[in-house]
Copies of this chain bind each other. A is one copy, B any other.
Amino acid sequence: MSSDVGATELGELLQAAARAFSQRGRARFGEHGLSPARVRLLTTLHHRPGGRMRDLADVLGVSGRAVTPLVDALESDGLVARTTDPDDRRAFRLTLTDAGLGAIERITSLQHTISEEIFSGLPAADRDRLGHLLKAFLATMPGQPCPPDSGPR
């Protein structure tokens, strides 16, 4: 009612907060030649090694069409590799190359740095609570292919 932004509604608050993070991220990642879409695909793939493009698209919430040029670019940069699924020759399995894993390390480090900057005004206890609540929320979303907190599998 008074502390924000005009935004009082939970979804709006969520978006405003995420925007603060992603705007800073866009600049930082851009310096490393990593667009938001590429970062999203790489990190998603990192949590689902060997995933099919179709599943990646579903998880990312985009059309299949959106994934192809992203994978093309990442593959030609040597960060990911396509492998035909022997059990379904229509599908590709995607894996991170060593260079891709290196990119993941840089991404993780950058995300950490950005978080440090951006959440510096929030007490550590609040940051923890926020993280737990967000995980709890994401866990309530139906149809998730990857159990929360399970990490890469």
Task: Check A133 against B144 for contact (C-beta < 8 Å).
Answer: no
Residue A4, interface by CB 8 Å = yes
Chain A interfacial residues counted at CB < 8 A: 69
A148 at the interface (CB under 8 A from B): yes
Query: Chain B residues with Cβ under 8 A from A15's Cβ?
Result: 18, 21-22
Pair B43/A151 contact, Cβ less than 8 Å: no
The interface bits of chain A over 107-122 (1 if a CB of B lies within 8 angstroms of the residue's CB, else 0) are 0100110110011111
A contact residues vs B (CB 8 Å cutoff)? 1-23, 25, 40, 43-44, 46-48, 58-61, 108, 111-112, 114-115, 118-122, 126-127, 129-131, 133-152
21 A-B pairs with C-beta separation under 8 A? A2-B61, A2-B148, A3-B135, A4-B138, A4-B139, A6-B44, A6-B151, A7-B43, A8-B149, A9-B108, A9-B115, A10-B130, A11-B22, A11-B115, A11-B118, A12-B111, A13-B131, A14-B130, A129-B133, A130-B133, A130-B137
